[in-house]
Structure 1
């Protein structure tokens, strides 16, 4: 098995060559800002491979993400800002500091206490001057942001006492949404729909389900089933342009039965 340190050194040398005087003109024009979209894109591709269970794909995509991280480190080092080693040392120190139950023998009774301790240490690092949500990236996708908001609030005991109370709140939010629909006020409908979604995300979090991942799974299942329906229709010489709902439903039921 290759030595990780040697492989990382080789990758850093590749990046250094690309950015050198005889390197690639495109690479030499890049800045940390210009690489942001590539980092997001490659991270999405890595997540897609992981969720698909594609281990070879995950290996390749992990390399793509790592290349960009080394690239960014080299650009900041060129500017004299910091080095990749600085980043590695900083994250190692941070993880040791935030895991006293592992590195210092601190006793924690359960995961809830562990997470509250994590939040306490984070705030101490900022001298308790920042708000609870200050470290939450503003650019997170909405479903993921809703999950993180609920998670962080719960770590500070701002949440429902139990799952039954939270489920009851979800029922109230649904009722308010229906009342908004009946009112015909579209702005109110959107606001109440957002409140209901937020509550559903929190319900999932309490069940150990991440809404973003769950919805991605639902999207994938829907797409796979729809493509299977289209394939069946093509095999039978059926024109889906002429389909009514009953035609689609019949194929949908058939596809679902084949999954079992």
Structure 2
């Protein structure tokens, strides 16, 4: 037995103890649905650790996710639905089946052809589902928009080139802007047009290899990092941020950018 297998068995033993007659009352009351939100939260914490480039935190959060995955699997096992072996065997078989260029003799001219085969295999596996039904409704909206646009592109339901996307993006901008200046437009109409603009913007970025969800996360982190530096600078100078006018805010902000990030905007 390898070290990985021993560690997996150790974690399963811990779980069995928690679920046993003398185990934890809270753990013993859990069900797969009750654990779903915890799993989502832990995955978000894992993603945060990965994007923050903190290996120690990544290791810890991976452990939390592994534990919850085993927890859900064990509850399913107890109900006689499937076993961990079933889960892992099915995953391995699926990856082999969807990668015939690696595990068989198939070859593809380019990535587009590879993706076309991927979609073909998925359609065989889930013949009763529409092309977009596999995209979870619980995904963050920007990530879901990316997946929808990506799926549509693989189906051929997209603009033929980047110029078409830019034209559509400009049209959506104009329609959204019109809701801001014309009398009688409802907030709901403005929200709809803003959503259309964002949806098209996600596709425009996707075509350039940019993921909107990741890009916005980077922008959020950049802003918060700069603001933390701005706050420390203001504190060192005895400046009360609450009483600043916009020009003073901008002066501090630009100083932080020039001092710490001279090559960035």
TM-score, length-scaled by structure 2: 0.94
Aligned to 1:28: 28
Other-structure match for 2:42: 42
RMSD: 1.2
Question: Is 1:89 equivalent to 2:89 in the alignment?
Answer: yes
Per the TM alignment, residue 157 of structure 1 is displaced from its structure 2 partner at its CA by 0.9
CA distance in 2, matches of 1:4, 1:17: 20
Offset of residue 126 of structure 1:
2.0
Which residue in 1 is equivalent to 2:137? 138
Give the TM-score normalised by structure 1. 0.96
Give the Å deviation of 1:250: 0.1
Deviation digits for residues 34-88 of structure 1 (CA, Å, limit 9, x no counterpart): 1111101110110000001111111111011001111111111111111111111
Matched, 1:113 2:108: no
Partner Cα separation in structure 2 for residue 36 and residue 42 of structure 1 = 10
* Partner of residue 60, structure 1: 60
Residue ranges of structure 2 left out of the alignment (5+ in a row): none
Q: Which runs of 5+ in 1 are unaligned?
A: none
Distance across 2 between alignment mates of 1:134 and 1:26: 34
Q: Alpha-carbon deviations, 1:149-204, whole Å to 9, x = none? A: 00000011111111122112111111111222121413221111110000110011
Name 2:4's counterpart in structure 1. 4
After superposing on structure 2, the runs of 4+ consecutive aligned residues of structure 1 that deviate more than 6 Å are none
Residue 220 of structure 1: how far off its partner (Å): 0.5
**Residue aligned with 1:161, SS:** coil
- Separation in 2 of the partners of 1:199 and 1:240? 37
Aligned residues: 258
Equivalent residue for 1:125? 125
Partner of 2:201: 200
Match of 1:101 in 2: 101
**Alignment partners' CA distance in 2, 1:257 and 1:168:** 36
Structure 1: distance between partners of 2:129 and 2:40: 26
Provide the rounded CA distance (Å) in 1 between the counterparts of 2:55 and 2:36.
Answer: 25
Alignment correspondent of 1:180: 179
CA distance in 2, matches of 1:19, 1:178: 57
Q: Deviations over 1:8-49 (max 9, x none)?
A: 111111111111112222211111111111101110110000
Find the residue that maps to 1:33 and give its secondary structure.
helix
Output the CA distance in 1 between the equivalents of 2:126 and 2:236.
63
Deviations 1:233-260 (A, max 9, x none): 1111111111010010000100111222
